Structure 1
């Protein structure tokens, strides 16, 4: 049977190399999680003119931080719905249903009861959270 002995200095170096390896893997997992959230959100985002999908961006902020943002102004209405179909915080607060508005895009008045929710953000974040937890468990963290 072989006997392995570490002196204090060698043990410290080995521990530092191990720590650096773990931290590098954690950094990779953070970046991969953010990329997964971005990819899932883009895949789930409904496409009319593409502005919602195109506004989903990911930035790496340092070694252990990343942020995924959705820049389109109408993101909340797509995620939670509008009018009688509103599912988000507060539910439907529509005072008059149906309502009529002028659509510049169509060049005419349109009557609506609202739009059903088309969740893209929540499911993407859930997928990212599951991935992150799985990968961190694999590292024993």
Structure 2
């Protein structure tokens, strides 16, 4: 889009500088928020083999105006909300049979379980990010 400039050239230059400064300020706020969410999620993620923690990453899009934080571990939702009788969140437990058994791949023995308690790492990270965002942009 072409820029048509009328009037005081000093004012036009000041407005362009203001726009650049404002864009940098917004990008900084987005980066602070993304980093807060990422660091909190990584700090709170429980560790067994470390895959869940290592699967959390972030990227920036739209020239820094958009931050995307992803959790790549396919089982992350079960860690966040729990399973079996301990399931929380929308709908709670939908298990058909509790307790249930599975074969431990390491030992080959059968293990009976009622589920796993929730170990929230994502929701608290989002809450911390929300606080950071509000504090920066208020």
Give me the whole-angstrom Cα distance separating, in 2, the residues matched to 1:29 and 1:127. Answer: 14
Q: TM-score, normalised on structure 1? A: 0.88
Is structure 2 residue 132 aligned with structure 1 residue 136? no
* Matched residue, 1:75: 76
- How many angstroms does 1:136 deviate by? 1.0
Gaps spanning 5+ residues in structure 1: where? 1-6
CA RMSD of aligned residues (A): 1.2
CA distance in 1, matches of 2:112, 2:42: 29
Show structure 2 runs of 5+ residues with no match.
Answer: 1-6
Distance in structure 1 (CA, Å) of the matches to 2:64 and 2:53: 26
TM-score between both structures, scaled by the size of structure 2: 0.90
For 1:19, the equivalent position in structure 2 comes to: 19
Q: What does 1:1-141 correspond to in 2, within 5 Å?
A: 8-61=8-61, 62-137=63-138
1:86-107 CA distance string (max 9 Å, x none): 0022101111111111111332
SS at match of 1:53: helix
1:75-95 CA distances to partner (integer Å, 9 max, x unpaired)?
000000000000022101111
Count of residue pairs the alignment pairs up: 131
